[in-house]
Amino acid sequence: MASSSAGSGLTFKLHPLVIVNISDHHTRVKAQTHHTDDGSGSSGGSGGAATAVRVFGCVIGVQRGRTVEIFNSFELLYDPLTHSLDRSFLEKKQELYKKVFPNFYILGWYSTGSEAQESDLQIHKALMDINESPVYVLLNPVINHSQKDLPLTIYESELHIIDGIPQLIFVRSSYTIETVEAERISVDHVAHLKPSDGGSAATQLAAHLTGIHSAIKMLNSRIRIIHQYLVAMQKGEVPLDNSILRQVSSLLRRLPAMESEKFQDDFLMEYNDTLLVAYLAMLTNCSSTLNDLVDKFNAIYDRHTKRGGRTAFI
């Protein structure tokens, strides 16, 4: 491992979504390992130490000239015996991302740990047929309260002559955090997430949405009062007041025309986006339920197969 910075001259821009994805991946695997340890006394190949659990995946994004922008990441299966990643799964994920994000390419891979290991070079070299100069994003999951910077390092690989033998080594590269508006909202929500007195999430975003809800509720009640007054005036239950009618008419003229073509297009676009999000959420829920059902079926089938009996459905 070289202590100096990389000399490639590349500028790296890292999006918060990548950091959140890696952290979430590590947290889920660590929680599953704890559950396995408590339930069966086996760590599932992690050596029984939850802190030694490592996760692996690929980072994707775009490269424009000398600027490399890492937008997203996805998880990969790792074989600890051969120190290799599941290439068939990687290629399938690459094809899927190409259909949705044709401009995104595999820029490298990620893992967790305090520092880069020797076995990481083997994975790094294996990915060079996809990207000639892959990047290695390493997240340190150990919390250090005295450290102010993010516990994340980006490595490049360089060929150095060591003792007369050319060797590929990792060198550190500097990076900056690049965010868009949607990511700022998500990161702000995660960063300020804390339990409130009622047991729900109290964030700046939640407070902002609560304020908007209160304002809309008050506006709705006042419009309802004006509507009831106009209906009563039309029925003759209250005397006719031309000054109030002129004020209501002036107020209505200030409102934008809701029957315009632009309004209909914008409204339908927002409406379709909302329906799409709800549809995708329902598909995700159905996929999760189906996956649980398949896992239970496989467990029952394997148990009956080992005993040499037939599978019985009750």
Q: What is the DSSP letter of 5?
A: B
To the nearest 10°, the Cα dihedral for 220, 226, 228, 229? 160
For the record, the structure tokens of 71 come out as 């937008």
Give me the pLDDT at residue 4, please.
55
Cα 134 to Cα 127, 231, 287, distances in angstroms: 7, 70, 33
Residue in the block written with tokens 């959140």: 20
Give me the pLDDT at residue 45, please.
39
What's the number of CA atoms in the CB half-sphere (13 Å) around residue 150? 18
Within 8 A by CB and 6+ apart from 51, the residues are: 142
How would you write the pLDDT of the chain (314 residues) with one tens digit per residue? 554 565 667 889 999 889 989 998 998 888 887 666 665 544 333 344 444 688 999 999 999 888 999 999 999 888 877 778 888 888 888 888 888 888 899 999 999 988 888 888 888 988 888 888 899 999 998 877 777 788 899 998 888 777 778 888 888 888 998 887 777 776 666 666 555 544 444 556 677 778 889 999 999 999 999 999 999 988 989 888 889 899 988 888 877 666 777 778 888 888 999 999 999 989 998 998 998 899 888 888 877 776 655 544 44
Give me the pLDDT at residue 169, please.
86
> What interhelical angle do 242-254 and 204-235 show, nearest 10?
140
Evaluate the CA torsion angle 143, 147, 151, 157 in order and state its sign: negative
For the record, the structure tokens of 314 come out as 């009750």
For the record, the structure tokens of 22 come out as 């890696």
- Global pTM reads 0.57
Q: Measured in whole angstroms, how far is the alpha carbon of residue 311 from the centre of its chain?
A: 40
